[in-house]
Amino acid sequence: MLETKISTMESKNRRPSESRSIIDSACSKRYIIAVMGFIGIANAYAMRSVLSVAITEMVEDIHKTAIDPNGCPGPIKNTNTTNPNAEFDWSETLQGHILGAFYYGYVIAQIPGGILAQKYGGKHVFGFGIFLTAVLTILTPLAARIGPGYMIGVRVLEGIGEGPTIPAMNTLLAQWVPINERSRIGSFVFAGNMIGTIVAQSSAGYLLKITDDNWPLVFYICGVIALIWYVFWNFLVYSSPNEHPTITDYELTYLERHLKGVNKNKNTLKSTPWLSMLSSGPMWGLMIGQIAHDWALFMINADLPKYMKSVMKFSIAETGVWSSMPHVLMWVFAILTGWLSDYLISNGKLGILQQRRLFSTIACIGPMLGTLAASYAGCDKIKVVVLFTIGMATMGFFYSSMKVNVMDLSPNYAGPAMAMVNGVGAVAGIVSPPLIGYLIPNNTLLEWRNVFWISGGVVIVANSIYLVLASASIQWWNDPVPTSENDGGDTDL
């Protein structure tokens, strides 16, 4: 009886602790930070991509050839201007430069952003980047009306504002996300880019329809929403668990036990090992591999609305909705593959490196096949949308593979390392819009098909280089003093 009583008392004493553990898990600060980061990235990509839809109504749709012999039938116009309320007569080449101008600033700001995030924390750098971009987004209509040069200038400054956001978020996640949750939380946060694009493109098309092409309104709404988010970000997010005033002892202990490779005392870290990063094969693999993803993503973000309207002859409302559909399924795949990745790795079905390689390859080949197939589907609108959507959905595999691979290599320098990777990848955003504008002077179906073939070649070559150089080991330059966890051994498999 005494043994039974003691057992009962131990059970009673244990239940409150277990209950607290369940409550602590449900209210974990890292999940709050993940949700706020997801919304923040969604805001960033909404502000970046809203121009892609708005520009179809801002600019007169004038082509050098009156009829595309391989094109799709559309409403007959008595004038060359699709939208009588369009204010600008920018050529396709100039539009390409305007769409690509964002990435000049974006590339420039990557390294400084990574350094600032490493020094001052991911919270402040990420938040200020979104705040600055929001203000500039609100000023975009004014800049466009002053002149294309000012429009390009504002887009470059927006790129500077957003440039630090991904390195800063990577720094933040490296401090908050245990390795066993890295794929699913990383996928969830970075998948915010798809939700932002979905909301921006679909809502922009609908707003343009119901407001009789009042295109400045879409910029004002995007900017104001981001400013409201910034207020909540400042109150809810902290750069590291040790800085959070209300984190529970349970979660703090859990994170300290599971944050592999993170140096808790930043004062002991040496200065950012830029030369070591540049001499690292896995870093070069990531930088080149990022080009494959960014080339495909930026092409779809910037130019798919134009393809839907000019080639497929969708209305502006349809253009916004159907251009966003690939991002809807891409987001679903990103979330599901994040969970799948952690399951496969945790249960020994795949090694970390095997998972990174396999999923990144799917994320590259799928979009290439989908876009090419869509260009050969003729004017069957349903088939074209389905092929684009399925092809781009496979890009969701990228977020649980290559996107989190930087944290595999260096948790301590995740911000600067991501700055290098993201900066090189963003060169695709500089090159692709002007190149596409040059390749589609008449917006014909055959011109677009050539674009998709060129893009597919770039993607395959870049991903192949990544496969050869990829690693999932913590690199020797991650820590000034080798630890027992990272003694130079290979942990890829």
**Residue type at position 416:** P
Fold designation for 28-62+90-260:
Growth Hormone; Chain: A; (1.20.1250)
* 442 pLDDT higher than 60: yes
Residue 20: predicted pLDDT? 43
* 17 pLDDT higher than 50: no
452: confidence class by pLDDT, cuts 50, 70, 90: confident
Distance (Å, whole) CA 434 – CA 97: 5
The reply to whether 268-478 shares the fold of 28-62+90-260 is: yes
- Average pLDDT taken over every residue of the chain: 79
The 10s digit of each residue's pLDDT in 54-97 is 887 888 765 444 466 666 766 544 444 455 667 788 887 888 88
* 477 pLDDT higher than 60: yes
Please state which architecture CATH assigns to domain 268-478.
Up-down Bundle (1.20)
The 10s digit of each residue's pLDDT in 377-428 is 877 878 888 888 888 888 889 888 888 888 889 888 887 888 888 888 878 7
| Domain regions of the chain by residue span | 28-62+90-260, 268-478
Residue 423: predicted pLDDT? 81
Distance (Å, whole) CA 227 – CA 225: 5
